[in-house]
Structure 1
Amino acid sequence: MDETRLERLEILAAEQERTIEEMSAQLAEQWREIERLRGRLDLLTRRFQALEEQAIPSAPVTKPPHW
């Protein structure tokens, strides 16, 4: 009885260790993907801002027609 219980606990511990290792690997992969996407977002943001600055004409300083 004790041997069976010990064996079940060892199997459970081994399965949990494998699951933790798999989850850790997935987390590391997701973190790399997040960092890659962050870099792309930063690049696109800078490009968008540059295009936006080029598209906005500078408004001349003039008095409104009713003055």
Structure 2
Amino acid sequence: MRYAIVLAANYDYVNAAETTLKSIFYHTPHAQVYLANMDIPQEWFTNINQKLAGINPSYRNISCIGNSF
């Protein structure tokens, strides 16, 4: 069974988002996570990919600019 999970965060909450992603992929490895954000830099996602490399995470960065969400 696959699960779809949507998170919303901004740069002020990247530590909480990272902890949440780690927990989701540890407990629900087949989850598809969508992270909606307005200001999280691409470098953060590159870093997360390295930290979660052994888990093979499945998530998508949903960039929200202005009222585009």
TM-score, structure 1 length as denominator? 0.25
Higher strand share: 2
Higher helix share: 1
For the pair shown, the structure with the greater C-alpha radius of gyration is 1
Q: Which has the higher contact order (CA 8 A, sep 6+)?
A: 2
TM-score, structure 2 length as denominator? 0.25
